[in-house]
């Protein structure tokens, strides 16, 4: 059983400071923010990537997501958001580069919402999915999950299967993202004991999971205010 | 320059936060005026010449306006209004001052400073110089120290005289010649297709629209320019031309640009009007690529710069014949880019203050101001009597959009760069070159690449279904289409379900395009390493099915379904047709079958054999069955899916042409071609005869002149050589097409020829013909499509679909598989029990 977070989403009126042993999770709307304004913060590379999106809505969401990432991280680091530089880890996980800081982060977005997890030193991963009822959850579970999880899903009454599927999916993704590996190698979590998992409910109809290295940490959830 | 015309004012406004010492500010301004003679100069006309008079002194007073009486919430607007008003107050060139400084106080720490002068005494660079000196002088005044201003060796008047002499002596005539040639042809007048008003007299009444270009866009534009060894200016120039082209459809546009013409280092610090306006005339014809147009502009700019010394006024005089009343001479559009200048006055915080420019020299002027943070502030000035504000606002939005488009893809033709709806003509009709309104869900703009084979088609169907986006091309990137990992999982599972192949996530994400996925699925690597057959559940214990799938376009994925329906306890070997993996295609069915026999023998050295095939593969399977029977092997059953046996009616023709070729000494290939040509004529005639018979019967039943007339014409040609009915289908082998009508495979013709030249001989193996029921009734050819003439045992089973959907629609394949399974079981139950 993955524990559910009872932490409320507090509107961040002032920028909160991050202490050791804390994990901050930010939630922000990708449609209520202005892509033109946030787009100003992007690097040339990010901006060019934004232009490659076929559809305007995806482009706008990408620009807002990256812009907010820069803005929020900029506040923690006390740096101009435009000056932040990012690099990719060995399997493509985005990381901060050229900064003398042990700040680690992970980003996930689905449809109109985004989640950003930030902490010091520990590896962290987060996954967010808008739950859709047209997902063939039994087939996908059979295909991707461990046999006992897939079987367990089928044993549930049909109305609960979607929830269970998304719980399994987001918790797997969160750990794979925390590890920096992602799903390119498949959905097997190699070191399940390394991670602590927490289920989050950032908005109605969304499933989310947070994976943090180790134990003994405190989670604070923040809602981004413009 | 029309004397006194405020369109030639250069007003510059800044907001000051802090409390300026107005007395010291005024002192500093006057020190500058004292230093630079040009600001103590007046101009008089005397006998056709402009006479300059330098006055020994000029006292400038800063006019101060206190807005304290204005309600707080209105002060900004009032300040803006006053600034805009003062900006267009004319100067009298015969009298001093030709420089005015105004200060508007909004509150104790909020001021607006306006510096205004006539163009005749200064240019854009002069503004920067002015502020540099002002800063230095003000600081010194506050600190009570002596200012350390660099010495001015050359005053403007001296330089002007020198320049005139130089021109006369050296480059005057050759430069004038260049310009004359440039503007030899009739100058195009820019008219917007929006049907804006025509002017008889030039109007200087103007307004402006402001917008900004974000830093990442500016950097992208700069790197685009760098790639082409051009500058930001050239890139913007090109973009302006494109946007104006789309609004007006002229083939040439002339754009004027001020050039800070300070050829001597001595005049670097001199205030004065050194600027010369250069007219850049560019040819936009031929719908070139954006980059091509950029290069054309580079060329024009380079040549213009070489000839920049002729004062613009001189040019106007010499090209008087081209001048059109109602517009600025020679060019109607102005473009300038001004570099970032840090303006500071002592410790006061100074930032640009925006106001409406109510006068304009040209129809349109785009001023770009580079900012310290990397973005660019743009001001698009326009003539109010020519353009509506909405038109210009739309233009500025479209321009910004265009800039983003060209950064995204500079390899587009200028007429095809997509931008949202362009203006309508005055009677409300959209212009021909209007790109349909893109709206929020923009159409994908890169070249759409349609699928080239049925695997790609299947994948596209799946992606479009899962991503809910249409249309998707084979080179579109998954993530750029808005895809993410969970949907990828769904796609992969659908691929497995429908195509029977499992794509790994690694394969999916390495190069996430349909083209690459299709390659991964069909395992298209070097043909030498390819196996000509695919074993599907080879671990089964029953007699294998050896199936010539014949699908040289799609790769035969339907075999996975067939195999699965027939049963996993029976191995299924899908045998590839030649050419699918890039290997050589033998010219006849017999040769193809002979080549594949090696593979058959390797898979299964001894009978009894279960053979099958689709289309051309069915022919190969038939021939293989014959060969194996002749070698004494047992054939349990031969399953032929969509095989037309009616070609056997040309057996006599094959023999005949064989004899004719032998007499002529022709080789096998030539003989084959001879046979095929004659066969085609006969087939056409058969089709024609059928058509005539049918139409005659029809006309007898229901006479009609519309039908009779063309028919009678055709009857006259009945015995002609040309066929009135086109006949492209080769009975027995229709090249597979996919639902989108993708081009036929290059293997189409060799396979059509091979099938058309295949004349089957007798065979005693039990045959089951699986006929797609939507195909033309086989009854025309015989109860078993002609096979009954040469097969001792033949049974016909109907299966759903037509010649292609019988293998491309999964539901149809399932039913066909069931029919095959039944046929196999029946055939096996009849076999004598042998010790295996």
Mean per-residue pLDDT for B456-481? Answer: 90
Structure confidence at residue B795 (pLDDT)? 93
Do B509 and A184 make contact, defined as CB atoms within 8 angstroms?
A: yes
How far apart are alpha carbons B818 and B812 in whole angstroms? 10
Q: pLDDT over 90 for what percent of chain B? A: 31
Do B215 and A143 make contact, defined as CB atoms within 8 angstroms?
A: no
How close does chain A come to B537, measured CA to CA in Å? 19
Residue numbers in B near A125 (CB within 8 A): none
Residue numbers in A near B404 (CB within 8 A): 51
Q: Select the highest-mean-pLDDT range: A29-43, A207-221, B177-191, B283-297.
A: A207-221
User: Does residue B119 contact residue B99 with C-beta atoms inside 8 Å?
Assistant: no
Structure confidence at residue B320 (pLDDT)? 64
Mean per-residue pLDDT for B455-480? Answer: 90
The three-state DSSP-derived secondary structure of A195-216 is EEEEEECCCCCEEEEEEEECCC
Lowest mean pLDDT across A104-113, B334-343, B463-472: B334-343
Task: For B497, name the nearest residue in chain A, comparing CA atoms only.
Answer: A139
Q: What is the DSSP string of B681-716?
A: HHHHHHHHHHHHHHHHHHHHHS--HHHHHHHHHHHH
How far apart are alpha carbons B41 and B569 in whole angstroms? 105
Structure confidence at residue B198 (pLDDT)? 58
At B581-616, the pLDDT tens digits run: 767 889 899 999 999 999 899 888 898 999 999 999
Do A57 and B408 make contact, defined as CB atoms within 8 angstroms?
A: no
Structure confidence at residue B728 (pLDDT)? 35
Is pLDDT of A62 > 60? Answer: yes
Lowest mean pLDDT across A51-60, B103-112, B176-185, B364-373: B176-185
At B769-825, the pLDDT tens digits run: 999 998 877 666 778 888 988 998 999 999 999 888 898 888 899 999 999 999 999
Is pLDDT of B522 > 50? Answer: yes
Structure confidence at residue B428 (pLDDT)? 36
Do A40 and B441 make contact, defined as CB atoms within 8 angstroms?
A: no
B625-652: b or e for each residue (b if 16 or more CB lie within 10 Å)? bbbbbeeebebbbbbbbbbbbbbbbbee
Is pLDDT of B386 > 50? Answer: yes
**Chain B interface, mutation test: which of A52, A55, A61, most B Cβ atoms within 10 Å?**
A55
Cis bond before residue B471 (omega within 30° of 0): yes
Cis bond before residue B97 (omega within 30° of 0): yes
Structure confidence at residue B48 (pLDDT)? 65
Residue B577 pLDDT level (bands cut at 50, 70, 90): very high
A47 → closest Cβ in B216, B477, B496: B216
Structure confidence at residue B373 (pLDDT)? 80
Residues of B with CB under 8 A from a CB of A: 214-217, 219-220, 223, 375, 404, 407-408, 438, 440-442, 444-446, 469, 476-477, 480-482, 484-486, 488-490, 492-493, 496-497, 504-506, 509-510
**Chain A interface, mutation test: which of B375, B418, B486, most A Cβ atoms within 10 Å?**
B486
Mean per-residue pLDDT for A160-187? Answer: 90
**Chain B interface, mutation test: which of A31, A37, A39, A47, most B Cβ atoms within 10 Å?**
A47
Measured in residues, chain A has a length of 226
Structure confidence at residue B735 (pLDDT)? 35
Structure confidence at residue B270 (pLDDT)? 82
The tally of CA atoms less than 13 A away on the side-chain side of residue A47 is 24
Mean per-residue pLDDT for B415-441? Answer: 46
Mean per-residue pLDDT for A63-88? Answer: 93
Structure confidence at residue B736 (pLDDT)? 36
Residue in B634, B658, B614 with CA at minimum distance from that of residue B772? B614
At B641-677, the pLDDT tens digits run: 999 888 988 888 888 888 888 888 888 888 888 899 8
Spell out where B91-167 has E strands.
Answer: 99-107, 110-118
The pair phi, psi for residue A127, each rounded to 5°, is -135, 140
Mean per-residue pLDDT for B511-525? Answer: 80
Do B441 and A56 make contact, defined as CB atoms within 8 angstroms?
A: yes
Averaged pLDDT score across all residues of chain A: 90
What ipTM does this complex have? 0.87
How far apart are alpha carbons B461 and B484 in whole angstroms? 17
Structure confidence at residue B768 (pLDDT)? 96
Residue B699 pLDDT level (bands cut at 50, 70, 90): confident
The pair phi, psi for residue B211, each rounded to 5°, is -155, 175
Q: pLDDT over 90 for what percent of chain A? A: 55
Residue B3 pLDDT level (bands cut at 50, 70, 90): low
- In which residue are the tokens 């053979």 written? B611
At B50-75, the pLDDT tens digits run: 778 889 888 999 999 999 999 988 89
Averaged pLDDT score across all residues of chain B: 82
Residue numbers in B near A46 (CB within 8 A): 216
Task: For A176, name the nearest residue in chain B, comparing CA atoms only.
Answer: B485
Structure confidence at residue A184 (pLDDT)? 76
Cβ-Cβ contacts under 8 Å between A and B: the total is 92
**Chain B interface, mutation test: which of A31, A45, A50, A51, most B Cβ atoms within 10 Å?**
A51
Mean per-residue pLDDT for B508-515? Answer: 87
How close does chain A come to B534, measured CA to CA in Å? 23
Structure confidence at residue A141 (pLDDT)? 87
If you count DSSP H runs as helices and E runs as strands, how many of each does chain A have, helices first? 6, 10
Structure confidence at residue B53 (pLDDT)? 86
Residue B444 pLDDT level (bands cut at 50, 70, 90): very low
Whole-model pTM over 0.80 = no
Structure confidence at residue B439 (pLDDT)? 28
Q: Is A173 on the interface with B (CB under 8 A)?
A: yes
Do B484 and A36 make contact, defined as CB atoms within 8 angstroms?
A: no
Do A186 and B215 make contact, defined as CB atoms within 8 angstroms?
A: no
Do B438 and A56 make contact, defined as CB atoms within 8 angstroms?
A: yes
Structure confidence at residue B717 (pLDDT)? 56
Cα B489 off chain centre by = 30
Residue numbers in B near A53 (CB within 8 A): 480, 482
How far apart are alpha carbons B724 and B726 in whole angstroms? 6
B481 → closest Cβ in A54, A169, A183: A54
Q: What is the DSSP string of B367-398?
A: EEEE-TTS-EEEEEEEETTT--HHHHHHHHHH
Q: Is A167 on the interface with B (CB under 8 A)?
A: no
At B217-245, the pLDDT tens digits run: 999 999 888 888 888 999 999 999 999 88
Which residue would you say has higher pLDDT here, A114 or B56?
Answer: A114
Lowest mean pLDDT across A125-129, B431-435, B756-760, B783-787: B431-435
Lowest mean pLDDT across A5-19, B192-206, B395-409: B192-206
Q: Residue B499: left if φ>0, alpha if ψ -120 to 50, beta else—which one? A: alpha
Structure confidence at residue B529 (pLDDT)? 40
Lowest mean pLDDT across B30-39, B145-154, B736-745: B736-745
Task: For B221, name the nearest residue in chain A, comparing CA atoms only.
Answer: A44
Task: For B403, name the nearest residue in chain A, comparing CA atoms only.
Answer: A51
Mean per-residue pLDDT for A139-167? Answer: 87
Do B489 and A144 make contact, defined as CB atoms within 8 angstroms?
A: yes
Is pLDDT of B719 > 70? Answer: no
B427-456: b or e for each residue (b if 16 or more CB lie within 10 Å)? eeeebeebbeeeeeebebbbeeeebbbbbb
Do A40 and B440 make contact, defined as CB atoms within 8 angstroms?
A: no
Residue in B202, B191, B244 with CA at minimum distance from that of residue B8? B202
Do B217 and A52 make contact, defined as CB atoms within 8 angstroms?
A: no
Residue B745 pLDDT level (bands cut at 50, 70, 90): low
User: Does residue A104 contact residue A120 with C-beta atoms inside 8 Å?
Assistant: yes
Structure confidence at residue B778 (pLDDT)? 63
Q: Is A55 on the interface with B (CB under 8 A)?
A: yes
**Chain A interface, mutation test: which of B216, B409, B514, most A Cβ atoms within 10 Å?**
B216
3-state secondary structure of B489: helix
Residue B450 pLDDT level (bands cut at 50, 70, 90): confident
Residue numbers in A near B496 (CB within 8 A): 143
Task: For A54, name the nearest residue in chain B, comparing CA atoms only.
Answer: B444
Residue numbers in A near B469 (CB within 8 A): 54-55
Residue B524 pLDDT level (bands cut at 50, 70, 90): low
A143 → closest Cβ in B220, B477, B493: B493
A54 → closest Cβ in B407, B444, B488: B444
Sequence-ordered alpha helix ranges (H) in B543-634: 558-566, 589-603, 616-630
């Amino acid at each position: 059983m993955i524990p559910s977070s009872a932490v409320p989403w507090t509107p961040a009126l002032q920028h909160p400071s991050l202490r050791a042993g804390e994990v901050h999770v930010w939630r922000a709307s990708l449609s209520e923010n202005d892509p033109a304004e946030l787009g100003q913060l992007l690097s040339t590379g990010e901006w060019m990537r934004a232009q490659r999106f076929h559809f305007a809505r995806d482009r706008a969401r990408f620009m807002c997501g990256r812009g907010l990432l820069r803005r929020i991280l900029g506040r923690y680091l006390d740096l101009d958001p435009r000056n932040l530089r990012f690099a990719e880890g060995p399997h493509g996980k985005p990381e901060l580069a050229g900064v003398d800081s042990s700040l680690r982060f992970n980003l996930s977005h689905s449809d109109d919402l985004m989640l950003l997890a930030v902490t010091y030193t520990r590896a962290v991963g987060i996954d967010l999915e808008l739950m859709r009822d047209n997902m063939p959850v039994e087939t996908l579970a059979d295909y991707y999950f461990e046999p006992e999880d897939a079987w367990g899903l089928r044993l549930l009454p049909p109305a609960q299967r979607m929830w269970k599927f998304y719980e399994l999916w987001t918790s797997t993704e969160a750990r794979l993202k925390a590890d920096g590996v992602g799903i390119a190698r498949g959905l097997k979590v190699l070191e399940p004991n390394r991670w602590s998992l927490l289920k989050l409910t950032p908005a109605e109809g969304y499933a989310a999971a947070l994976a943090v290295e180790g134990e003994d940490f405190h989670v604070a959830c923040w809602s981004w205010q413009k | 320059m029309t004397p006194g015309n405020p369109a030639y004012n250069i007003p510059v406004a800044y907001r000051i936060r802090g409390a300026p010492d107005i007395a010291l500010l005024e002192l500093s301004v006057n020190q500058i005026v004292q230093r630079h003679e040009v600001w103590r100069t007046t101009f008089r006309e005397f006998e056709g010449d402009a006479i300059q008079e330098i006055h020994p002194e000029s006292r400038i007073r800063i006019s101060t306006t206190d807005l304290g009486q204005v309600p707080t919430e209105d002060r900004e607007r009032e300040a803006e209004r006053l600034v805009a008003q003062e900006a267009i107050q004319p100067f009298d060139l015969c009298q001093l001052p030709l420089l005015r400084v105004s200060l508007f106080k909004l509150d104790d720490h909020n001021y607006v400073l306006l510096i205004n002068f006539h163009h005749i005494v200064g240019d854009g660079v002069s503004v920067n110089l002015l502020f540099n000196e002002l800063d230095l002088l003000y600081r010194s005044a506050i600190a009570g120290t002596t200012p350390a201003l660099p010495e001015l060796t050359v005053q403007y008047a001296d330089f002007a005289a020198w320049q005139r002499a130089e021109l006369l002596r050296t480059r005057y005539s050759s430069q004038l010649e260049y310009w004359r040639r440039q503007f030899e042809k009739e100058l195009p007048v820019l008219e917007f297709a929006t049907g804006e008003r025509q002017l008889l007299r030039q109007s200087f009444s103007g307004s402006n629209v402001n917008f900004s270009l974000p830093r990442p866009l500016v950097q992208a534009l700069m790197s685009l320019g760098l790639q082409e060894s051009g500058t930001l200016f050239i890139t913007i120039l090109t973009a302006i031309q494109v946007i104006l082209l789309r609004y007006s459809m002229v083939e040439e546009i002339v754009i004027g640009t001020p050039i800070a013409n300070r050829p001597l280092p001595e005049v670097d610090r001199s205030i004065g009007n050194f600027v010369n306006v250069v007219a850049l005339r560019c040819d936009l014809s031929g719908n070139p690529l954006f980059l091509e147009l950029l290069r054309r502009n580079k060329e024009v700019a380079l040549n213009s710069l070489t000839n920049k010394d002729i004062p613009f006024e001189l040019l106007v005089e010499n090209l008087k014949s081209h001048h059109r009343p109602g517009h600025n001479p020679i060019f109607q559009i102005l473009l300038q880019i001004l570099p970032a200048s840090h303006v500071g006055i002592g410790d006061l915080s100074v930032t640009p203050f925006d106001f409406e420019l109510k006068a304009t020299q040209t129809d349109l002027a785009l001023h770009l101001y580079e900012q310290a943070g990397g973005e660019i502030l743009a001001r698009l000035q326009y003539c109010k009597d020519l353009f509506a504000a909405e038109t210009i606002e739309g233009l500025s939005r479209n321009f910004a959009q265009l800039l983003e488009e060209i950064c995204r893809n500079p390899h587009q033709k200028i007429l095809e760069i997509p931008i949202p709806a362009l203006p309508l003509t005055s009677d409300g009709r959209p212009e021909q070159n209007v790109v349909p309104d893109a709206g929020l869900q923009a159409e994908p703009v890169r070249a759409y690449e349609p699928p080239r084979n049925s695997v790609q088609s299947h994948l596209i169907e799946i992606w479009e279904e899962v991503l809910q986006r249409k249309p998707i091309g084979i080179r579109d990137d998954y993530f750029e289409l808005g895809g993410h990992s969970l949907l990828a999982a769904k796609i992969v599972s659908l691929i497995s379900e429908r195509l029977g192949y499992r794509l790994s996530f690694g394969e999916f994400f390495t190069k996430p395009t349909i083209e690459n996925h299709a390659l991964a699925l069909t395992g298209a690597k070097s043909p030498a390493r390819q196996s000509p057959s695919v074993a599907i559940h080879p671990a089964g214990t029953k007699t294998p099915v050896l199936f010539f799938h014949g699908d040289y376009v799609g790769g035969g994925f339907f075999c996975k379904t067939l195999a699965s329906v027939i049963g996993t306890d029976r191995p299924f070997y899908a045998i590839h047709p030649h050419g699918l993996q890039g290997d050589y295609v033998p010219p006849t069915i017999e040769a193809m079958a002979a080549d594949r026999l090696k593979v058959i023998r390797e898979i299964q050295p001894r009978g009894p054999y279960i053979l099958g095939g689709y289309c051309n593969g069915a022919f190969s399977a038939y021939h293989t069955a014959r060969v194996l029977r002749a070698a004494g092997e047992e054939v349990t059953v031969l399953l032929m899916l969509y095989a037309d046996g009616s070609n056997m009616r040309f057996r006599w023709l094959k023999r005949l042409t064989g004899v004719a070729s032998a007499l002529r000494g022709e080789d096998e290939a030539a003989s084959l071609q001879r046979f095929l040509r004659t066969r085609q004529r006969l087939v056409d005639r058969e089709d024609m005869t059928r058509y005539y018979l049918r139409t005659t019967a029809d006309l007898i039943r229901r006479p009609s002149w519309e039908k009779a007339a063309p028919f009678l014409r055709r009857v006259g040609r009945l015995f002609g050589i040309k066929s009135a009915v086109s006949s492209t289908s080769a009975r027995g082998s229709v090249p597979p097409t996919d639902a989108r009508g993708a081009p036929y495979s290059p293997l189409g013709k060799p396979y059509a020829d091979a099938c058309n030249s295949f004349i089957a001989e007798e065979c005693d193996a039990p045959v089951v013909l699986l006929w797609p029921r939507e195909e033309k009734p086989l009854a025309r050819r015989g109860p078993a499509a002609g096979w009954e003439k040469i097969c001792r045992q033949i049974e016909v089973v109907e299966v759903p679909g037509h010649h292609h959907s019988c293998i491309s629609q999964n539901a149809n394949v399932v039913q066909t598989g069931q029919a095959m399974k039944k046929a196999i079981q029946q055939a096996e139950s009849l076999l004598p029990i042998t010790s295996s």
